[in-house]
Amino acid sequence: MKIIGLDLSLNKAGVAAIDGDASIYQAETLRTPQKVIAAGAHARLEWVRSGIDERVQRVKPDAAVVEAPAYGAKGTAVHQLAGLWWIITHDLWKLGVPYVSISPGSCKLYASGDGSADKDAMILATARAFGDFDGDNNAADALWLAHMGADHYGQPLVEVAGKKRRGTLVGTKANPIQWPVLSAGGA
């Protein structure tokens, strides 16, 4: 089973893929070039969308785990980030890739045991779990999102302590995580 994790960002989007059957992963950060940023919002959204779409087409995942929008975020980029989330999830839908949306806090809690972990804590948790990881915090977040999916579907690459897993993979009673049901061969 192949799972892709997406940490959406206008400047540095994290993308990670896990192949649970082969016990391998890849993680990277798509850095939006300054000239694309200067070209405006549409050029920026299209650059990120195109980069993610290229990786989704290459990986051919059975499912995707996408970081949910940070609903408490403030600033001028919030509107564009919401648009990016909808563009990416719409593209996944068009490709027939089932996806689930995971809150940033749930991902942090799953990875580090702290739902408000900072970037350094996420890098440390990633380095401890995935000894050969050499990416930045965006790639780390994407890797943990993909790993949450692999764990949910019974193919984790690393062991995550029970306390961290329990609530983060199921959500809450009021807000349960709606994991896609996959057929035996994938989506």
Number of domains in the chain: 1
In a domain, 186, yes or no: no
In a domain, 182, yes or no: no
Mean pLDDT taken over the chain: 90
* Domain CATH number, residue 163: 3.30.420.10
Cα separation, 154 vs 149, whole angstroms? 9
- The pair of structure tokens assigned to 19 is 């192949």
Tens-place pLDDT, residues 86-104: 999 999 999 999 999 999 9
Cα separation, 182 vs 61, whole angstroms? 11
Note down the domain range covering 121: 2-170
Average pLDDT on 109-123 reads 91
The gap from C-alpha 186 to its chain's centroid, in whole angstroms, comes to: 18
Asked whether 30 and 13 are in contact (CB, 8 A), the reply is yes
- Among all chains, which residue has been given the structure tokens 């302590």? 161
In a domain, 84, yes or no: yes
Tens-place pLDDT, residues 130-165: 988 999 999 999 999 999 999 999 998 988 876 666
In a domain, 183, yes or no: no
In a domain, 177, yes or no: no
Whole-number pLDDT of residue 10: 93
